[in-house]
Each structure stands twice: as structure tokens, then as C-alpha cells.
Structure 1
Amino acid sequence: MGQTQLKVINQSKPITSIIILTHNQIEYTKLCIESIRKYTEKDTYEIIIIDNNSTDGTKDWLQEQDDLQLILNDYNAGFPAGCNQGIEIANGDNILLLNNDTIVTENWLTNLRTALTSSNDIGAVGPITNSASYYQTIPTSYKSIADMHNFASSLNVSNPAKWECRLKLIGFCMLIKREVIDKIGLLDERFTPGNYEDDDYSFRIVQEGYKLLLCKDTFIHHFGGASFKHVSNEYINLMTNNAKKFIQKWGFNSTYSSMIRFEIINLIDSPQLEPIRVLEVGCACGATLLEIKNQYPNAELYGIELNASEANIAGKFANVEAEDVEMKLSYPESFFDYMIFADVLQHLHNPWQVVENVKKYLKPNGKLLISLPNVMHYSVLRELLDGKWTYRDAGILDRRHLRFFTRQEMLKMLEDAGYTKIEIGATNLPVNEIDAKLISDLAALTDYARFEEETKAYQYLFRVHNLQEYNRIEQLLKSINEFHSIEAIDELADLIVSNDSLFTHTRNEIFNYPDCQNLFNMIAISMYNKKLYDYVLPLLQDSLSVNEQDDDTLYNIGYVLYQSGEFEIARSYLKKIRDKDEHVMSMIGTTHP
């Protein structure tokens, strides 16, 4: 076996070396190369073709072209090794790995290069498309190549706001800086003939400290899997074997450990630009945290992950600790706006204790975002009825699960932990006719009104509010309002100075009481007696906004200002008091120049 290198084009150093592998499928190759010629700026690229022993006329057609550099193998070297052959002879300072079953579009390479060179820490970039894995696909409706180009033309306008950081890029079109390849080396040929080499390369780039960008301002067409469509069984076996190879190399499953939990991210209800502090328990490689950063650019990211390899990847962009959430955590109390438990609680020995313990790490009105599989799902019930209680490596009956929950038990766990505001949603799978009949038949055997609804829920989603302090504030305000309890006033004062948001919340709540002016004054006096002077005047100003002629409020403001040496300002309030006693007159007199 060997290779023949032909037609090395002598030219000045191009910006980009485009490397394409071919193995038959000549029509795809023609469309791809013709689109490059049409939609790529001349003299900014070179095309390197590695043919893996095509037998359909591809080699003859390639040799007729005068603008290609060719390597003609007399054997099928596979994708990783073939790409490496092309990289080794490439002249460009950027390397583009491009499948031959793609059609590139207007501005495609210019946009990708703009993103790649926008920062020194960008290692590789990729486009969106109509057919690819790992969230690079967008909905399309075009029916022809011409329609596709019109569709792409409207999208392909360079826009940094449409660049997103990702953990992985799919290798159908990946533009990589030469300096990155020089640091991390060539593609790993253990993944020959192909699949998972792009996962591996993505993680190696991130591990080196570079970022990967998905450029949603660049669309190209991808026919998708053209070289494997005629060997589907071989393709499945190849995917399975290479997935095992990846796990052996990295110590984690690429698919599961890089999932983006959009259903969890959608539960975040903060304004987009608000600074939020987020902890994900069991963050794996941090794909969900990274997407949170895309959507909430001012977010601080934290993670807990026991797998050292995964934690190393996530640690490149988040503060990741190898902690046991069932033990005391090292974070300050009242620290997080959100704590994420995405399919985690069912793996714990005592999830009931965990959801109670973590309250202390949530800010007042912080939230737990939780997903849990529903053991009452119809698929589980069917297996039970068929006598097939089978533990698997994934799904509701995952062999790693220690606990199993229905909706009622999930809610009970949260309510017993002291949470009073629990929002709940669900994700459902399609139900076929056979399963629909099973659900209906079983529903007829029970009086439980929610049976059909709950058996269709595959997974429950919870947004759980940490309202302990807020509930206590409400109780204290009622006690102060009804009984003028000095103890309640003192406790409230101590509580609301612990957090600015509690103070703001309390001030807003007081306005809801008919005797709010009196409440403001009583709490302000308590603050003054405790020497918490920064809180006194805001409360009194709130009181004055209710009735600016209230003598008690005017006196209190005047007295506080008088005691702090602000005599002239104090005088302006004291003079407004209608019924002035000797003490008031004395303070007014003292303030005369």
C-alpha cells in the first residue's frame, strides 16, 4: 500500500488550506469543489484532496483539474489518517477540514476566518448546517440547491453576536488555526476509519486552553453521512467501537458528558445581562454551564464534578471542584442564584437531605433547578407488566440510579425540605397507539385523577424557590402590624440587614399594609437603636412618601439628621411639624446660624 502525490500547486502562501477526503461519491465531490471555486475569494486558499482509492471515476476527474493538490492513495486510509496526510503538506496558516458531501455558500470562509482570528484564544470554528449532530443543525425548508443559496445568503452576514462557545465542533467543516495543530498534534488515527476523531480533537483543543466557536452567521449545506449510507450495520458497529475507544482514552462518554441541558437552562428566569452565580452539581464537561454563559454573559460559573477528566475540561471555563454534594460544601452561605441538579438526585444516597442542606448556599429567593426521571412513565409500567424489570446503562432504569421517584414523591421531598414555592413542568415522549391503549386501560383500574397525565411524563422539571427568609419576613411583618411585637421588630431588623435584596423586598412589602407608615417608623427606630444607621433614612423616606405631612415621620427624620450633625437639613424637616413641642423647638433653635 502507498500513496501518490500529484499536482502540487506552486503559489504564495494561502490563508487557508482546505483539506477534502474522497472515496467514490463523485457527484458530491464535484458539487463541493465547484461551490468552493464560486463562493470563495480567489488566492486566499488552496484545495488539497486525499482520495482513498475511489473506483467510480473520481480519481480521473480529480486529475483533470488544474487547481488541486492531490494525494491518491491505493488503499482506504480512513478519515483521520487521510486528513493528517493533507495537513502535513498544507501551506496555509489555517487548516479547514471539509467533507466532500458539503456545498459551501456566499461569504462562508470569510465569515469563519473573521471569527477564528477575532481573538488569540479562539482555536477552531465551525458553521451551522441542515444536517449534523451536536446542536449544529438549524431548521430549513429549501427544496433545491438554488433555494439553499438564497437561504444561506440571508444568514451569512458576519455578526459576532451570533458566535457561541461550544465544547465540540463536528468535523464536516472545521476551521483550525495552524498554531493549534502545532501544539496538540494531528488527528488521532485510533479512530480510523472515522467518527469520534472530531470529538477527540475538540476536547484536545479545549484542554489546551483554546475556545471553540459555533458561527451561527455562517451556513453551509451538508448532505450528511454520504460515505456510510450504504453500510448502515457497519456504521453502527463503527460508532459503537469508536465510542468505546473514546471512553478508554478520556475516561468519559463523549455524548453524555457534553450534553447541553436546554430544558434546564430555560428555567433560568433572570434578565439576560444580570450578573448571576450558577452552580451545576454533576456538571460533567460543563456543556450546560458553557451554554449558560452564551445566554447570560455576566454569569459566574461553578461546578461540582467527581470525574477528574471531565472536571479538567469544565475547569477551563468554570470554577470546578471535586466535592461530594452529600457532604458540607466549601462555598459561602447565600452564595448562588441558581443551583442545578440535572438528573443527579436519583444517583444520591440521601437526596432528601441534600435538597434541605443546599438551601443555605442559595441566596434569598435563589432557586434550585432540578430534573428527575419519572418511574411512573408508561414505558416502565409496560416492562413491569411484561416481567422485564431491566436495568440499563441509560434511561429511567439506569443501573446507576439509587433512587426512583414519582411526581408525588418528588414534590414531597421538596416540601419536606421546607420549600413552599415549587414550579413544575414535564418533558413528554410521543405515545403510539399501543401505548395509548395501555395507559387508558390502566387508568380505568385506578381512581387517581392524574394517572394518564403522569404516566406520559418522561421527566419532571422543577424550579424551586428558596423563600425561607421571605416567608419569615412576611410572618414578622404580620406580627409587628397586629401586635407591635418588639421581638419581631428586632428579629426583622437583624434579618433584612443580612442581604440587600431582603431589605429591598421588605420595604416593598411594607407598602402593602394599611398602617405602613407606622411600620416604617417602628422598624426605622429599631435600626437606629441597633446603630444600623445606613438603613434608617431609606425607611423613613419610604414612610414620608406615603404622607409627607406625617408629624412622627418628620420628627424621626429631623432627629436622625440632627444627631448626625446635618443641622440645616434637619431644620427643614422639623419646621414642617405642625404641633411642635419644646424639644422640637429646641432643635430648630439650635440649627439657627
Structure 2
Amino acid sequence: MPNLKPVSIVSVTRDGYFFSRLLVERIRAHIGFRAYEIIIVDRGSKDETRRWMSEQSDVTLIKFAQWRTREHGHAESAEKGIKAARHPNIVLIDSDAHPVSEDWLKKSVDSLSETIRLTGAQFVDKHVGNPHGWYVHPHFMCFKKADFGSLIQLRKLQGEHTDTGEESTIRVLGAGYEIRAYPIEFCQEFSVGHPRVPTVSSGVFHAWYVSRLEHEESTVIRETSGAVTRESYLIPIQKKLRAAYKLEY
């Protein structure tokens, strides 16, 4: 058996119990024989998320109130989890994402080396502060804990000129290191009628929009011209996932 890198898997939650629980369960199903820990940083969930996470033996729950993360919310919360990690390799994954293939870590975190310092899902977009036109999106991002704070920076240091986590790609490439990034592709298996989401990248499924639909649905509806709502997207995708994984919650 190859020497599998131990990993600390970090995710940020704020309600969304269904997807957060599914993430933990699918990690267990696809983690293999490597050493791992799951760190959940919760930003004040009002549903069953905190209770369920606190009962899991392989989950460390960190409670980080929403009011403490006004400026860099998701990024600042993720930082709390990374700092608490026991293992040298970090897998940052969104709470509405989950692994769907056995090789999800082989293609990502196991590729990290002295030259490759960042791996994950490649998001293509043009932002003023990023000359590359793409970056590793933090819904699935792998790196060495030792690089956190130097090469790896999650906060929007350039304001709205970059997105959360985008600074990491800029820094890694700027320092002369390599990135192994995988395209984000449409996930037909769990399609519910939207032409672009959900997606899959490097063996990781991502629903998108879940937390925002929980807390700012009107904004999502406006941004998507009504294409993404709880009724048209969130509920149907939960139904498909329940059927696929034979879930009773």
C-alpha cells in the first residue's frame, strides 16, 4: 500500500444540515486507509448542524459566531480551522460539496510536492487583481499547512478585485511554484434543470448556492434572474441526492 498523506479536512458551516452531514459521510466513504481528521468551523447554525457534528468522533467542531466574521466571513472562519489542524496537509472543502470518487485525494492532495504547492478545482474568470484569468476555487483547495499565511492566503486582500482564496493562486505562481488544477465541469448525474450547476471537479461534487439560499435567497434570485431558488434548485437537488445515496434524513 502506498504511503498515503495524512490530511486535515476543513469546512465552514452555517446551517445547511443536510449538505454538511452528507459531506462528512461521503468523506468517510472515500477516505480510504489514510490518517485524517475533519474540522468543522460553524458560524452560528440554528438547525441540527452543531448538534450532529458534536456527536461525531472524527469531527472537531469549532464554534465561531457570525458576528465575529463581518469583513472576511468565510475566509476568516476557514483560517480558524486550518490553524487547529493536526496534519501537515490541508483539504479545504465547502459544506455543500462532497467527494464522489475514490481518487479524489490521489489527484489532489497527494500531488503536493516541493514544486507543486496548490491543487484543486480550477475556476476560470477575469478579475482585476488576477493576471492569470483563473484560480483554484476554495470549494476544493489542497495545500501544505506550512504554506498557510505565506503562499496560501484566503482573504480578499485586494478587496473586490479578487475573490475568496484567489490570492493563493497569485502568490503560488508568483513565487515560481506549480499548481495542479482540475476543470470544473457540469455534473449531469445530479442535474435539476440549471445549465451550469451543480458541478464536479477532481472527484468532488459541488452544489453551489446552498448557504446563500439559506440566508439571502432574494439576492441569489436577483443575481440568477430567478433561475436559482429553494423551490427550483435546492429542494430538487436534495431529493436527487437522497435517492442516490439512500438517505433517510
TM (normalized to structure 2)?
0.66
State the distance in 1 between where 2:31 and 2:217 align: 34
State the distance in 2 between where 1:228 and 1:97 align: 19
1:116 is aligned, of 103, 108, 112, to 112
Report deviation, 1:44. Answer: 2.3
**1:48 maps onto 2:39 in alignment:** yes
Say whether the 8 Å CA contact 1:22–1:52 is kept in structure 2: yes
2:124 is aligned, of 106, 112, 134, to 134
Report deviation, 1:178. Answer: 2.5
Aligned-partner SS, 1:109: coil
State the distance in 2 between where 1:52 and 1:95 align: 20
2:81 is aligned, of 74, 77, 86, to 86
**1:198 maps onto 2:165 in alignment:** yes
AA in 2 matched with 1:69: T
AA in 2 matched with 1:68: V
Gaps of 5+ in 2: 126-131, 184-200, 224-249
State the distance in 2 between where 1:236 and 1:185 align: 32
Aligned-partner SS, 1:87: helix
Aligned-partner SS, 2:91: strand
Q: Which runs of structure 2 are paired with 1:226-375 in the superposition (5 Å)?
A: 226-230=210-214, 231-232=216-217, 234=219
Q: Which runs of structure 2 are paired with 1:60-75 in the superposition (5 Å)?
A: 60-75=51-66
The verdict on how the C-alpha distance between 1:175 and 1:94 changes in structure 2, with shifts beyond 3 A counting, is: same
Say whether the 8 Å CA contact 1:167–1:212 is kept in structure 2: no
The verdict on how the C-alpha distance between 1:178 and 1:227 changes in structure 2, with shifts beyond 3 A counting, is: same
Say whether the 8 Å CA contact 2:154–2:166 is kept in structure 1: no
1:24 is aligned, of 15, 24, 29, to 15
Report deviation, 1:90. Answer: 1.0
* CA deviation profile, 1:474-524 (whole Å, cap 9, x unmatched): xxxxxxxxxxxxxxxxxxxxxxxxxxxxxxxxxxxxxxxxxxxxxxxxxxx
State the distance in 2 between where 1:184 and 1:111 align: 21
Report deviation, 1:116. Answer: 2.0
State the distance in 2 between where 1:225 and 1:191 align: 24
1:219 is aligned, of 195, 200, 203, to 203
Structure 1 runs of 4+ off > 4 angstroms?
189-192, 232-238
State the distance in 2 between where 1:89 and 1:218 align: 26
Q: Which runs of structure 2 are paired with 1:155-166 in the superposition (5 Å)?
A: none
* CA deviation profile, 1:201-227 (whole Å, cap 9, x unmatched): 221222222222114693221111211
State the distance in 2 between where 1:89 and 1:190 align: 22
State the distance in 2 between where 1:166 and 1:113 align: 23
Structure having greater relative contact order (Cα 8 Å, sep ≥ 6): 2
Report deviation, 1:104. Answer: 0.4
**1:103 maps onto 2:98 in alignment:** yes
The verdict on how the C-alpha distance between 1:185 and 1:170 changes in structure 2, with shifts beyond 3 A counting, is: closer
State the distance in 2 between where 1:168 and 1:177 align: 17
The structure with more strand, counted as a fraction of residues: 2
Say whether the 8 Å CA contact 1:112–1:127 is kept in structure 2: no
The verdict on how the C-alpha distance between 1:232 and 1:212 changes in structure 2, with shifts beyond 3 A counting, is: farther
Say whether the 8 Å CA contact 2:152–2:167 is kept in structure 1: no
Larger CA Rg, structure 1 vs 2: 1
The verdict on how the C-alpha distance between 1:184 and 1:220 changes in structure 2, with shifts beyond 3 A counting, is: closer
Report deviation, 1:184. Answer: 3.1
Q: How many residues align?
A: 188
State the distance in 1 between where 2:117 and 2:34 align: 23
State the distance in 2 between where 1:63 and 1:126 align: 28
State the distance in 1 between where 2:213 and 2:158 align: 19
Gaps of 5+ in 1: 1-13, 136-164, 239-593
The verdict on how the C-alpha distance between 1:45 and 1:225 changes in structure 2, with shifts beyond 3 A counting, is: same
- Identity, in percent, stands at 24
1:180 is aligned, of 143, 147, 167, to 147
Say whether the 8 Å CA contact 1:48–1:90 is kept in structure 2: yes
* CA deviation profile, 1:519-574 (whole Å, cap 9, x unmatched): xxxxxxxxxxxxxxxxxxxxxxxxxxxxxxxxxxxxxxxxxxxxxxxxxxxxxxxx
AA in 2 matched with 1:111: K
State the distance in 2 between where 1:166 and 1:177 align: 24
Say whether the 8 Å CA contact 2:10–2:91 is kept in structure 1: yes
State the distance in 1 between where 2:11 and 2:182 align: 21
Report deviation, 1:37. Answer: 0.4
State the distance in 2 between where 1:184 and 1:170 align: 15
Report deviation, 1:177. Answer: 2.0
AA in 2 matched with 1:173: F
State the distance in 1 between where 2:99 and 2:21 align: 12
- Root-mean-square deviation (CA), in Å? 3.0
AA in 1 matched with 2:103: N
State the distance in 2 between where 1:69 and 1:95 align: 14
